[in-house]
Amino acid sequence: MHFFNKQAIESLDPEDIQKAVAHAYNLVLDNDFHMPDRMHVPRGENTLLLMPCFAGDYFATKLVSVFPGAAASGLPVVNGIVMLADNHTGAPLAIMDGAALTARRTGAVGGLAVACLTPENICTAGIIGAGVQGLSQAQFLLYNRKITTLWVADLHQEAARAMVKTLQTTHPRVSFQVAETARDLVDACQVVICATTSTQPVFEAAPAEVKGKTFISIGSFTPKMKELPDAVITAADAVYVDTPFAAQESGDICIPLKNQVVSRNKIQPFAQLVRHPVDTEGDKTWFFKSVGMALFDLTVASAVYRLGKEKNLGQVLDV
């Protein structure tokens, strides 16, 4: 049995992680997986999530805890592990840092959306929300497109500055800018990735003002969270979701649906783009919403296990 820590998970190529995410979408298209509803254990203000999934040679269970009070002590709010096991024998194969794996696979989910829903030659991009997820989104964005200027916005400008500093070391040729406001960022960028847990849209705009851009929302995962104004879903030529649950679970989709701002048939599964790409050249507006699923964790964990062993990453557990 192997243990893969944050460093091991982060050292793998974005290409390999993104391929693993694409593989998950292929399994969705083939309906070749088993993903029971996640188990949700509330305990006061804390939550434990148990997310099992089975596909092919592996099964994985992600255990994630969310302890909001930990932030006050400067500790991570989200913790967890992923256990990967052999789907033929049941034998445990690996334990992985759940937070690092989640950040990485969510980055790749955003990255694949960038690859499928932006013109190849875009050069300006923005990240709203400079947390762990925002950083991972930026890394996969920069892997997918030759961005010359990347804007970062956060309610706490310090956080945005810290993220810019981190990115600058790995991407010295990109110009990184901290935006005064999220709206400034949107105006300056061809693709905008939101990674916040905001319950109010992080900017206001009319539909005409967001036309021709690509919006990727990664943050909102409850019906009360909504990162983007209705203008985006209204202006969008097409709306894609990573799972059908996104339409129920994320306020960015369920609120406009409820208010009849958008019709249900405008919302389509992203998976189809993996086999039938759309033409992104021209002045179209795209909106992708992800809430994530255990299948992504499974395929990415499988890739970490296979490649990690090949590259001698991780720690061998003395079973």
Q: Binding residues for its own copies, per CB under 8 A? A: 3, 5-6, 34, 36, 39, 41, 43, 46, 48, 50, 52, 54, 59, 61, 63, 65-67, 69-70, 73, 75-81, 83, 85, 88-92, 95, 97, 315, 317-319
Question: Which CB atom, from 62 or from 226, has the smaller least distance to its own copies?
Answer: 62
**Least gap, CB of 78 to its own copies (angstroms):** 8
Question: Which CB atom, from 181 or from 315, has the smaller least distance to its own copies?
Answer: 315
**Least gap, CB of 70 to its own copies (angstroms):** 5
Burial 248-277 (b: 16+ CB within 10 A, else e): ebbbbbbbbbeeeebeeeebebbbebbeee
Q: How far apart are CA 143 and CA 4, in angstroms?
A: 23
Q: How far apart are CA 35 and CA 33, in angstroms?
A: 7
Question: Which CB atom, from 44 or from 282, has the smaller least distance to its own copies?
Answer: 44
**Least gap, CB of 12 to its own copies (angstroms):** 17
Q: How far apart are CA 200 and CA 120, in angstroms?
A: 31
Question: Which CB atom, from 63 or from 247, has the smaller least distance to its own copies?
Answer: 63
**Least gap, CB of 245 to its own copies (angstroms):** 18
**Least gap, CB of 48 to its own copies (angstroms):** 6
Question: Which CB atom, from 81 or from 247, has the smaller least distance to its own copies?
Answer: 81
Q: What is the DSSP letter of 34?
A: B
Question: Which CB atom, from 39 or from 261, has the smaller least distance to its own copies?
Answer: 39
Strands (E), the chain: 2-4, 39-43, 46-55, 58-66, 78-86, 92-97, 124-128, 149-153, 175-178, 191-194, 214-217, 238-241, 267-269, 286-289, 315-316
Contacts of 3 (CB under 8 A, 6+ apart): 94, 95, 96, 314, 315, 317
**Least gap, CB of 91 to its own copies (angstroms):** 6
* Burial category of 82 from C-beta neighbours within 10 Å (exposed 0-12, middle 13-18, buried 19 and up): buried
**Least gap, CB of 163 to its own copies (angstroms):** 23
Q: 53, 105 in Cβ contact below 8 A?
A: no
Question: Which CB atom, from 69 or from 244, has the smaller least distance to its own copies?
Answer: 69
Q: Which of 123, 109, 184 is nearest to 154 (CA)?
A: 184
